[in-house]
Amino acid sequence: MHSVHWQRREDHPAIAEIFLQREEVLNAFHTEMAQEMIRACQELSKESGIRVVGLRSSTPKAFCTGADLKERNRLSEEEWHAQHRVFEEMFHSLADLPVPTIAVIDGYALAGGMELALNCDMWVVSEGAVFGLPEVTRGIMPGGGGTRLLAQRIGMHRAKELLFTGRRVTAREAAEMGLVNRILPPEKLEAAFLELAESISRNAPLSLRYIKGAVEELWGMPDEEAREREVDWYNRCVDTEDRREGVRAFNEKRQPRFQGR
């Protein structure tokens, strides 16, 4: 059985889901699992018609608990560095998916597991979820976006507190910090994910990709440069059939039929 599996939803083929399914170790990722995640993202990047990707766990006990430290305990320093390059590619392949991504989180999201979530665009979270970046308590530090992405999401001071202490936070506290898009009882997690994913998937595919690209590129850029780049992204949408279809549909008082062209 593979540690990572992806599939389109039969009821909503524009929505794909990546499942983490190494349940026996709460989805702690080893080298092979990371490689499977990279392949899944590569395949999804080439798949036509997908407008939203959800990242999920096959068990409610944990979203992901980070790197498998039992495997790492056997590695030399050279092997550790080589393995981490694979992990880096895993995080980057998820972050670089051109379509919007939603982390669907129940149970533990710790260390590299929380970083997987941080490399997604949005979070839909169970009230029982638990988050943390405890690397400092093991003599290491986050290396998959934790120091870079967490500060973007919640501000430098709060990010430093979580990173310096390694403490765990509840789903409610994570929501209060601004990390969460939806928080709800675990039995409503599926419906909330679908509601959000469907509302996104109805929109123009090229617009979604360009908006994601623009937000990622413009974050932190000097304003004068960002203004020019924003218009460059905007202009990519203008000469598209989707833009023309959107305007036609508005004037004809009907739902648009976007084709991604």
Residue 155, phi-psi category: left (phi > 0), alpha (psi -120 to 50), beta (remainder): left
Same domain, 154 and 233: no
Q: Is 213 a catalytic residue?
A: no
Please, which residues have CB within 8 angstroms of residue 183's CB and are 6 or more apart in sequence?
125, 126, 127, 171, 172, 175
Same domain, 169 and 138: yes
Number of domains in the chain: 2
Q: Is 77 a catalytic residue?
A: no
Q: Is 214 a catalytic residue?
A: no
Q: Does position 91 have pLDDT exceeding 90, yes or no?
A: yes
Same domain, 157 and 241: no
Predicted confidence band of residue 127 (pLDDT cuts 50, 70, 90): very high
- Confirm whether 258 is domain-assigned: no
Prediction pTM value: 0.95
Of all residues in the chain, the percent with pLDDT exceeding 90 is: 93
Residue 66 is given by DSSP the state -
SS3 label, residue 192: helix
Residue in 115, 144, 197, 204 annotated catalytic: 115
The pLDDT value recorded for residue 210 is 96
Predicted confidence band of residue 1 (pLDDT cuts 50, 70, 90): confident
Pairing mode of beta strands 130-132, 168-170: antiparallel
Residue in 54, 66, 107, 112 annotated catalytic: 112
The pLDDT value recorded for residue 186 is 96
Q: Calculate helix-pair angle for 205-218, 241-251, nearest 10 degrees.
A: 120
Which among 44, 112, 101 has a CA at the least distance from the CA of 215? Answer: 101
- Mean pLDDT in residue range 13-19: 97
Same domain, 159 and 196: yes
Same domain, 192 and 231: no
**Distance in angstroms (rounded) separating the CA atoms of residues 31 and 24:** 16
Strand order in the sheet with 130-132: 62-64, 108-110, 130-132, 168-170
Residue in 14, 34, 67, 129 annotated catalytic: 67
- Confirm whether 89 is domain-assigned: yes
Residue in 17, 107, 135, 192 annotated catalytic: 135
Amino acid at 29: F
Strand order in the sheet with 4-8: 4-8, 15-20, 52-57, 101-105, 122-126, 182-184
- Confirm whether 97 is domain-assigned: yes
- CATH assignment at residue 167: 3.90.226.10
Per the structure, the complete domain to which residue 214 belongs is given by 205-251
